[in-house]
């Protein structure tokens, strides 16, 4: 399990792609061997990853195997990708490949289980690749992969916005797993200045999840309130990579809660404290040494 907490590594490995994205399956089979067809939004597909499939190349991590799917996404819209083990325990991994062949999102764990979950904004309209599989070479077995569109609202001002969690929303285990929470999505254009996002609700214990421009599990964090009526506050440090950030709003408890809330993004502020951490680590959750797309 890789628990990178808002730290981004330099990723500039140039590798060929697989299945419907042209990888030769490490030279052992035809390109089509790991292609498993097309995903329809909101419809789960099941599969089984094994040693005959294509292999991830994850630099310092063991190579796992994956199946490759295609899905049509629309520029500017927000999507959720989930890969869940459906049989014996499987440490899953998922990558999203843009129409031009770059890995634009990835997820190891959703931080509450060995399943994978991520949110991303489509940077262009076209056919994307979804690589669903296991993190390690011995991580094989059955899985379920689902891609959903989740409506997103842009946080374009400092005005307080009222929202409601409802049963028609996307559900995520990122905030509440292994149970799930209904979630609303927002998009914040970060310019590198310090700012704060605050969510309040009297209906449930509010929680905030943040996905950075790489939309990866290592490029994300979450914070929560302590009780209904207490705020969930996330502080963006100054100097954070500019770009589009996805903010997900949900409930830590009760699981599957519905009800009203408010969300507000501050204007740029001079300084701020470090964001609360998921673990006992003391380093900043936004320590960045560089970013970049991986082309494979």
Which of 24-28, 48-52, 74-78, 136-140 shows the highest mean pLDDT? 74-78
- How, if at all, do strands 161-165 and 102-107 pair? unpaired
Residues 221, 262, single domain; the answer is yes
Residue 76 covered by a domain: yes
Q: Is the pLDDT of residue 34 over 80?
A: yes
138 domain residue, yes or no: yes
Residue 224, domain member (yes or no): yes
* Closest among 201, 258, 193, 246 to 224, alpha carbons compared: 201
Q: Is 276 domain-assigned?
A: no
Evaluate whether 137 touches 143 at the Cβ level (below 8 Å). no
Lowest mean pLDDT among 67-71, 104-108, 140-144, 278-282: 278-282
Confidence of residue 96 (pLDDT cuts 50, 70, 90): very high
Task: Examine residue 109 and state whether it is found in any structural domain, yes or no.
Answer: yes
Range of the domain at 69: 19-149
Q: What's the whole-model pTM score? A: 0.79
Q: Are residues 94 and 33 in the same domain?
A: yes
**Domain assignment present for 286:** no
Do 56 and 70 belong together in one domain? yes
Query: Does residue 1 have a pLDDT over 90?
Result: no
pLDDT at 179: 75
216 in any annotated domain: yes
Into how many domains does the chain fold?
Answer: 2
- pLDDT greater than 70 at residue 217: no
pLDDT digits (tens, 9 = 90+) for 137-179: 888 889 999 999 999 999 988 899 999 999 999 998 877 656 7
Regarding whether 96 and 117 lie in a shared domain, the answer is yes
pLDDT at 30: 41
What mean pLDDT comes out for the span 261-270? 80
Tell me, yes or no, whether 29 and 143 share the same domain: yes
How many CB atoms neighbour CB 40 within 10 A?
11
Question: What is the predicted pLDDT for the residue at 278?
Answer: 33
Q: Residue 54 forms beta bridges with which residues?
A: 66
* Res. 204: pLDDT tops 90: yes
Q: Does residue 288 sit within a domain? A: no
**Is the pLDDT at 20 greater than 70, yes or no?**
no
* CATH number of the CATH domain containing 210: 2.60.120.380
Contacts of 239 (CB under 8 A, 6+ apart): 192
The DSSP bridge pattern shows strands 126-134 and 92-97 to be antiparallel
pLDDT confidence band for 203 (50 / 70 / 90): very high
- The number of beta carbons lying within 10 Å of the beta carbon of residue 158 is 11
What's residue 32's pLDDT?
58
pLDDT averaged over the chain? 77
């Amino acid at each position: 399990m890789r628990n990178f907490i808002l730290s981004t590594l330099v990723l500039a490995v140039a590798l060929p792609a697989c299945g419907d994205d042209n990888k030769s399956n490490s030279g052992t089979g035809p390109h089509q061997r790991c292609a498993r067809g097309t995903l329809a939004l909101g419809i789960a597909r099941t599969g089984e990853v094994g040693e005959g499939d294509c292999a991830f190349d994850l630099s310092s991590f063991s190579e796992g195997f994956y199946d490759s799917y295609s899905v049509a996404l629309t520029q500017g819209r927000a999507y959720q990708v989930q890969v869940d083990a459906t049989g014996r325990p499987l440490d899953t991994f998922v990558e999203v490949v843009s129409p031009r062949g770059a890995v634009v999102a990835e997820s190891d764990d959703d931080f509450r289980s060995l399943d994978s979950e991520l949110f991303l904004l489509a940077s262009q309209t076209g056919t994307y690749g979804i690589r669903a599989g296991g993190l390690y070479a011995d991580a094989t077995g059955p899985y379920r992969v689902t891609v959903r569109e989740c409506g997103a609202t842009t946080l374009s001002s400092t005005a307080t916005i009222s929202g409601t969690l409802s049963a028609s929303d996307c559900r995520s285990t990122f905030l509440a797993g292994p149970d799930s929470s209904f979630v609303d999505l927002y998009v914040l254009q970060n310019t590198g200045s310090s700012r704060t996002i605050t969510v309040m609700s009297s209906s449930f214990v509010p929680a905030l999840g943040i996905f950075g421009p790489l939309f990866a599990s290592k490029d994300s964090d979450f914070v929560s309130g302590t009780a209904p009526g207490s705020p969930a506050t996330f502080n963006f440090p100054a100097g954070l990579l500019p770009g589009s950030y996805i903010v997900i709003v949900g409930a830590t408890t009760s699981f599957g809660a519905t009800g009203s809330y408010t969300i507000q993004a501050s204007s740029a502020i001079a300084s701020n404290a470090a964001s609360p951490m998921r673990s006992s680590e003391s380093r900043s959750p936004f320590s960045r040494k560089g970013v970049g797309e991986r082309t494979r």
